[in-house]
């Protein structure tokens, strides 16, 4: 996906270097290109040695890949971050309220804000969660909000990741790598910390423990296992939090609680940070063939004896058809206009809209409503005539499975190349932690960067890389 439009540069304005980058630009101008090239290779070696890799589903070689890391940070001013974090806080609170409502009184449906069939026919909606409120009334314990920028003050939410958002380990390792390679930079430029995230994550999860929990809550991370694309992150976060990493076969129901096998027998778990999809969580409730989950965990959950983070059924909130209603959802539950805007979204389920999308397919980006990772989408401006024709047939067969959006003019941030700095398109995934005590947002997040000149596709599964994200102190 490429574009020839003029894009907003986060580092350079027509008047010169933008204020957030002034000190970095002064430092960079004094650097030797050969030294920076050497540092770039060192970073790659560090990532490979540490095991910071991911798997690409469907790849013929099934080989673990290294996510490319670019050593030029993405820098955000404190003022810009303040606006962003207020918008994220508002949106995350609205998403949590929406989930509570959808699984209980369904007032937003009664008010006619969202069509009932959009929930009733939604694959991510779980009837098993009806009339049940998770401990602390928290559904989305960890949220990753994908944000893109198109101008000085123009930020748009591209996606709400409310199920099992990934990428936080790369945010942390990117910062650690930069600290090791350029300690002098952090003495010169005051950057807000991200290293406390694991501590905050554990504290936030523990505060969501079931009411009957006594003493210090026992927290564990549930992983599908080593073959999962994000296994590195699962093990990294468990290690950083100082909690156990478990798989389904390590757990069982004991006296109405979920317990994990230890060398001293079974130990009760109070909070399970699961990285297993809903369908595989409990073979007695969902997919009977699942070997990844825990038989009976949903009964224990509904009895109030364990917290599952994120709650089952949260996927209905990051469905791309629901996304198109987010401005209304925010206003319905907060009484405020949305601070962060949505990207204009066309729902293909509506006949007139489908006609418009089919007529303008070459200019639009079309996505599956449950899609992720850049899979199953059509990028009209970059598609061949045959690809457009084939996708049009898919749309006609299952229109409700797709939404369409205009091609955005994403902002650019420089990357380091052999010829010096070169602009590349980026997005940002900040991470929010939700607990009964409120919403806590880590300053920065994961910046994903399209490494090919002109490309707008930032997903690591599609060849994108990552950067350290700096939020400056005042």
Per-residue pLDDT of the chain (474 residues; tens, 9 = 90+): 444 467 899 999 999 999 999 999 999 999 999 999 999 988 888 887 776 655 554 544 445 667 889 999 999 999 999 999 999 999 999 999 999 999 999 999 999 999 999 999 888 999 999 999 999 999 999 999 999 999 999 999 999 999 999 999 999 999 999 999 999 999 999 999 999 999 999 999 999 999 989 899 999 999 999 988 889 999 999 999 999 999 999 999 999 999 999 999 999 999 999 999 999 999 999 999 999 999 999 999 999 999 999 999 999 998 888 999 999 999 999 999 999 999 999 999 899 999 999 999 999 999 988 766 566 788 888 889 999 999 999 999 999 889 999 988 899 999 999 888 999 999 999 999 999 999 999 999 999 999 888 887 787 666 789 999 999 998
Nearest to 21 by CA among 63, 80, 67: 80
User: For the residues of 381-404, what is the DSSP string, one character each?
Assistant: GG--HHHHHHHHHHHHH-GGGEEE
Spatial separation of the C-alpha atoms in residues 431 and 178, rounded to whole Å:
20
CA angle 97/311/371 to nearest 5° reads 90
Backbone angles phi, psi at 402, to 5 degrees: -135, 150
Show Cβ contacts of residue 302 under 8 Å, excluding neighbours closer than 6 positions.
128, 132
The enclosing H or E element of 326 equals helix 326-334
pLDDT digits (tens, 9 = 90+) for 189-231: 999 999 999 999 999 999 999 998 989 999 999 999 998 888 9
Residue 52: what pLDDT?
A: 66
Report d(CA 229, CA 225) in Å as an integer. 9
Only one residue has tokens 């950067």, namely 467
Kindly report the pTM of this predicted structure. 0.92
CA distance readout (Å), 421 to 29, 208, 413, 417 = 11, 45, 9, 6
Helices (H) and strands (E) in the chain, counts: 14, 25
CA angle 145, 149, 154 (to 5 degrees): 105
Domain range list for the chain: 12-343+408-471, 344-407
Q: What is the pLDDT of residue 61?
A: 47
Spatial contact of 222 and 248, defined as CB atoms under 8 Å apart: yes
Print burial letters for 107-145: b (CB count within 10 Å at least 16), e (below 16): ebbeeeebeeebbeebebbbebbeebebbbebbbbbbbb
CA 224 and chain centroid, separation: 18
CA-to-CA distance for 88 and 471, rounded, in angstroms? 15
3-state secondary structure of 131: coil
> What's the pLDDT score for residue 382?
83
Residues 6+ apart with CB under 8 A from 50: 173
* Contacting residues for 157 by C-beta, under 8 A, at least 6 apart: 87, 91, 145, 146, 147, 326, 340, 341, 342, 343
The H-assigned helical ranges of 143-230 are 168-181, 183-188, 197-206
CA distance 53 to 126: 32
Task: State yes or no: cis peptide before 133, omega within 30 of 0.
Answer: no
141 vs 164: CA distance, rounded Å: 10
| Cα distance between residue 31 and residue 366, in whole Å | 43
* pLDDT tens-digit readout, 362-384: 999 999 887 665 667 888 888 89
What's the confidence (pLDDT) of residue 130?
97
pLDDT at 18 (0 to 100): 97
The number of residues making up the chain comes to: 474
> For residue 60, what pLDDT is reported?
47
User: Taking the alpha carbons of 348, 353, 337, 365 in that order, is the dihedral positive or negative?
Assistant: positive
Q: Are 245 and 270 in contact (CB under 8 A)?
A: no
pLDDT of residue 7: 87
**Which pairing describes strands 265-268 and 257-262: parallel, antiparallel, or unpaired?**
antiparallel
| Residue 181 buriedness (CB in 10 A; 0-12 / 13-18 / 19+) | middle
pLDDT on residue 67: 81
Q: Are 75 and 470 in contact (CB under 8 A)?
A: yes
What three-state secondary structure class fits 9? strand
Does domain 344-407 fall under CATH 1.10.760.10? My reply is no
Residue 472, SS3? strand
Cα distances (angstroms) measured from residue 189 to each of 26, 73, 184, 290, 468: 11, 12, 9, 50, 14
pLDDT at 12: 95
């Amino acid at each position: 996906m490429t574009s020839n439009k003029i894009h907003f540069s986060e580092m350079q304005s027509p008047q010169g270097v933008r204020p957030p980058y002034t000190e970095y630009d002064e430092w960079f101008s004094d650097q030797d290109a050969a030294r920076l090239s050497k540092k770039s290779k060192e970073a790659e070696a560090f990532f490979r040695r540490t095991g910071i890799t991911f798997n690409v589903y469907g790849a013929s070689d099934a080989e673990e890949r290294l996510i490319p890391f670019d050593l030029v940070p993405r820098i955000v001013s404190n003022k810009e971050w303040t606006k962003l974090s207020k918008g994220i806080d508002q949106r995350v609170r609205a998403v949590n309220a929406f989930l509570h409502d959808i699984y209980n009184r369904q007032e937003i449906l009664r008010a006619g804000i969202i069509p009932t069939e959009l929930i009733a026919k939604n694959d991510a909606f779980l009837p098993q969660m009806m009339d049940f409120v998770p401990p602390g009334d928290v559904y989305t314990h960890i949220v990753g909000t994908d944000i893109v920028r198109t101008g000085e003050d123009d930020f748009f939410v591209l996606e709400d990741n409310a199920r099992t958002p990934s990428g936080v380990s790369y945010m942390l390792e990117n910062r650690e790598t930069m600290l090791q390679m350029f300690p002098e930079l952090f003495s010169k430029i005051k950057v807000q910390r991200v290293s406390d995230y694991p501590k905050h994550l554990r504290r936030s999860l523990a505060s969501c423990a079931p009411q009957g929990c006594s003493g210090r809550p026992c927290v564990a991370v549930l992983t599908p296992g080593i073959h999962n694309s994000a296994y590195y992150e699962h093990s990294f976060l468990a290690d950083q939090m100082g909690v156990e990493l478990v798989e389904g076969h390590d757990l069982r129901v004991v006296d109405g609680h979920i317990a994990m096998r230890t060398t001293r027998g079974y130990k009760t778990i109070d909070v399970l940070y699961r990285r297993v999809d809903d369908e595989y969580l409990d073979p007695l409730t969902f997919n009977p063939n699942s070997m990844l989950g825990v038989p009976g965990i949903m009964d224990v959950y509904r009895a109030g004896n364990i917290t599952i983070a994120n709650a089952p059924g949260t996927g209905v909130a990051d469905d791309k058809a629901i996304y198109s209603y987010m401005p209304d959802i925010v206003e319905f539950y907060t009484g405020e206009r949305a601070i962060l805007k949505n990207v204009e979204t066309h729902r293909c389920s509506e006949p007139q809209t489908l006609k418009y999308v089919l007529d303008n397919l070459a200019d639009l980006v079309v996505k599956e409503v449950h899609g992720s990772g850049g899979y199953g989408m059509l990028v009209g401006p970059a598609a061949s005539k045959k690809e457009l024709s084939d996708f049009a047939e898919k749309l006609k067969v299952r229109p409700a499975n797709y939404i369409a959006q205009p091609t955005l003019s994403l902002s650019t941030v420089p990357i380091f190349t052999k010829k010096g700095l070169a602009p590349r398109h980026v997005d940002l995934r900040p991470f929010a932690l939700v607990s009964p005590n409120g919403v806590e947002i880590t300053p920065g997040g994961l910046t994903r960067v399209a490494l090919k000149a002109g490309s707008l596709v930032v997903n690591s599964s599609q060849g994108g890389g990552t950067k350290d994200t700096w939020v400056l102190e005042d």
